[in-house]
């Protein structure tokens, strides 16, 4: 199969490429940001695209948006989305965008080579390939009283600093992490709190309000 890869982590991107070529497939193109993804998909029209949900420059849903746009231009374009963890809103959006030829796997599934290649082949054949953990979380409604329970300790730190009014650069300085990492954490917070991308800048306000309400209850 001819496969296009979109992944900003160079080691993971090269690792996926080596895995695929070793299995007898051709990597027809490889991109590292959301702006290059849609043009590459339209130019190369791969048998299947393997892409990260979050890509530069915003580290939000650039990969997913490019995939949805490409499927509108190339009906049935097979797409296998990779994510660091289950992002229910994005998984649901991908499924809603088309019934066949879509997949959503957690990145640690790549290490299980047979499972990864099997998912790739099913997606290329027009079937769906969903990570068991994704299916579980989509089917079971959360009963957690704490809306922040899904956040990691680092994400809670970032959200707390957001609530204090700090910008992304200042948050990075206080936590001794790069601003790109802050962007990723904030994107993760929005996804875990179920704040849709259509909210635009209001997502930051809604996330802070959720934090303040949780703190008040505590």
pLDDT at position 80 is 93
Q: Tokens for 172, please give them.
A: 């990075």
* CA nearest neighbour of 171 among 153, 185, 191: 185
Which residues are bridge partners to 172 per DSSP? none
pLDDT at position 136 is 60
Q: What pTM was estimated for this model as a whole?
A: 0.62
Average pLDDT for consecutive 10-residue bins of the chain (218 residues)? 95 94 96 92 94 87 84 88 75 60 86 90 83 62 62 90 83 94 92 75 75 62
pLDDT at position 198 is 63
Tally of residues, the chain: 218
pLDDT at position 140 is 47
CB atoms within 10 A of CB 107: 17
pLDDT at position 24 is 95
Contacts of 47 by beta carbon, 8 Å cutoff, 6+ apart: 1, 2, 3, 78, 124
Q: Tokens for 29, please give them.
A: 């193109």
pLDDT at position 205 is 75
Q: Tokens for 52, please give them.
A: 């990260």
Maximum separation of any 2 CA atoms in the chain, in Å: 57
pLDDT at position 130 is 76
pLDDT at position 208 is 77
Burial 36-57 (b: 16+ CB within 10 A, else e): bbbebbeeeebbbbbbbbbbee
Contact 62, 38 (CB under 8 A): no
CB atoms within 10 A of CB 119: 24
pLDDT at position 100 is 67
Which residues are bridge partners to 85 per DSSP? none
């Amino acid at each position: 199969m001819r496969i296009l890869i979109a992944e900003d982590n160079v080691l993971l991107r090269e690792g996926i490429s080596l895995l695929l070529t070793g299995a007898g497939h051709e990597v027809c193109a490889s991109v590292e940001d959301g702006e290059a993804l849609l043009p590459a998909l339209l130019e190369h029209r791969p048998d299947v695209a393997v892409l990260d949900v979050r890509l530069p420059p915003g580290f939000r849903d650039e990969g997913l948006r490019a995939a949805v746009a490409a499927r509108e231009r190339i009906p049935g374009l097979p797409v296998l989305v990779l994510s660091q963890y289950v992002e229910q809103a994005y998984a649901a959006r991908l499924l809603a965008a088309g019934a066949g030829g879509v997949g959503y796997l957690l990145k640690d599934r790549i290490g299980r080579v047979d499972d990864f290649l099997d998912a790739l082949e099913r997606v290329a054949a027009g079937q769906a390939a969903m990570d068991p953990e994704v299916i579980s979380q989509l089917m079971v409604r959360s009963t957690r009283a704490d809306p922040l329970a899904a956040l990691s300790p680092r994400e809670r730190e970032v959200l707390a600093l957001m609530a204090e009014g700090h910008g992304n650069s200042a948050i990075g300085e206080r936590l001794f992490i790069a601003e790109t990492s802050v962007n990723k954490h904030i994107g993760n917070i929005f996804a875990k709190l179920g704040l849709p991308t259509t909210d635009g800048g209001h997502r930051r306000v809604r996330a802070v309000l959720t934090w303040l309400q949780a703190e008040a209850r505590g």
